[in-house]
Chain A
Amino acid sequence: MPQIDQMFEIWSSQLFWLLITFGFVFFVIGRGMVPKVMDTVGMRDKQIADDLAAAQAARDAADEAEEAWRQRENANREAAQDLVNKAKAKAQKSTDTKLAKVQAAIDTQLEEAEARIEASRKEAGAEIEAVATEAAQDIAKRLAGVKATKAAAKSAVKEAMSRV
């Protein structure tokens, strides 16, 4: 086994050249290049994290804007609804007043007409009474030969008419 056979003649050379080559690897590659490579990786990770954070922030802002828009929209809709309701109420009120006015006019006309009818009827009733009284007097004179006074005839007519 050359590793053992040659040990005493080669160990110093092995040690020397290993220290030189490994020293180069450690100081130039390990200390010099590896941190830079890891920096690059770290920078990339940071960049990705930053981009993700920015995207998240933008998304949050968009959500917020949408929420605000929604609230504004709801308020607008409510206001519009309110306006419509108010207009409806107003229209209803004006209709009601107009109707009431017309109703009142109709009522007065009706009352007047009724009063007129009542007056006519009374007038007619009085005329009938007068006619009936005269007729009753006449009838009594002709049939019984009794001369009934106007007052008696009138009361008899009244009594008869109230029975009708």
Chain B
Amino acid sequence: MRTPRDLDAIIVGAGHNGLVAGCYLARSGLKVLVLERQPYIGGAAVSRQLYENFTYSNCSYVCSLLRPEIIRTLELPKYGLQVIPYEGGVTMMQGGGHLANYDNHDALRREIARHSTRDAEAYDRYARDVMRQCKFIKPLLMREPPDPTSFKPRDIQELLYLGRRFHGLGEERMYDTLRFWTMSAADFLDEYFESEIVKAHFAGSSIIGTALGPRSPGTAYVLLHHYMGDIDDTVGAWGFARGGMGSITKALGASFEASGGTIRSAAPVAKILVRNGRASGVALAGGEEIHAPLVISNLDVRRTFLETMDSKDLPDEFLRQVKNFKIRGSSGKLNIALDGMPRFPAIPEGSPSIRGDMHVTDTIEMMEHAYDDWKDGRWSRAPYIDMLIPSQIDPTMVPDGKHYMSVFVQYCPYELADGPWDAAKRRAFGDTVIDTIAQHSPNFKELILHAEIRTPWDIENEVGLTEGNIFQGELTMDQLLFNRPVPGYAQYRAPVRGVYMCGSSTHPGGGVMGAPGANAARAVLRDLGRAN
């Protein structure tokens, strides 16, 4: 691949946010180069064939948060992106029995009523309150967070917007918002539900990707973060990208190249170069230097500033804050090729819930115990798993009759108490997960053709996410909005002129959303006087 000359901007990392930023910049006429360390693009949104004729979404695995305005503006459908919503979802109980999720309101009410009539009706209040908060937050996703300490007209204007929206919620909901953003998922769910299984079912999304337990303050927001997405205006709906999550970044890559951008893969950036206090380009691991006045990093903030920049180029206090940025590894992943469809006796024949996300943690207590293991530096002996079989819906991923299972595992530490990860420990971690599933599926083990086991350490090494944290940093109130990634630097601009951040470490955070990339591109263009 030839590296173009007279570049306007270099983007470090071909994850979805890097590519989104690249697309917007290229469409505004900038000459942009995206550099990727791996021989393939995508970052954590990839489709990979690690076993013959099986395609794995081997990192991120479901899609909901990708903003529709990005899909539309960047013409991703034209480049092959198709997101298919799935219905269902189920939590299997320890002694048999289950709680399923159904799209049909009456089916869902009757399902929850099997466990608690009251909860079945409280669900409407729960859904209403979650929806109210999503309605408040959603418009903030695609905006640069205002700096509350600044007197710049733009910041004041944005603060006023935020204030007006907040005030527009009405008295009662303003209280709720503050409570929602700070309380624990367990406390939050207690305000609605009485049944343990119902609470456990909804609590799952409050811990996915975080190094917090369901009883930790701040997890109610994480739950909300997972509801913020929508598919075709159905808020909270999740779907599969046809062909795996890689088809998102594949479409972004194609859209980027169609706008004149260049991608160079297998080109790891070793250093962001700074000359006379401003960005001048990057140096690749092999020594090659590529120059451009703008460098936009899709890497998480820790990796960007502590590993890819010279600390002498950065202010001390900023560096200290970056060092303190919470980005802990807490999740692992198994990708499994199956010879056929596993049976789950707890799920009734014909229930569509099996086509959604499946869980086996039936109490908050159990979830919290899983977290206790993580705190002690070992993987959960009874992990929370988010398990899906996308090949039931997506015909492109496996040979006919076979199945692909994606198993997200919470919790798994980046560093073990008894020393570094090795092959035997990785296998033992995988066995824990497989045994957990096999407790609910008698024929599961015999169907396994291949399993890829990924610890946080593996995810860091392959994808580059510090500690393998899927959100590029915890989604807690102290690291959200104008405090994300660190106070004073929430507007995508680094302390060095010409250096920008566009990864999920920035507002509005992780999930395959694309909003940080789009917002960062807007900040770059505004600085260039090309505001769109």
- On whether the two chains bind one another, the answer is no
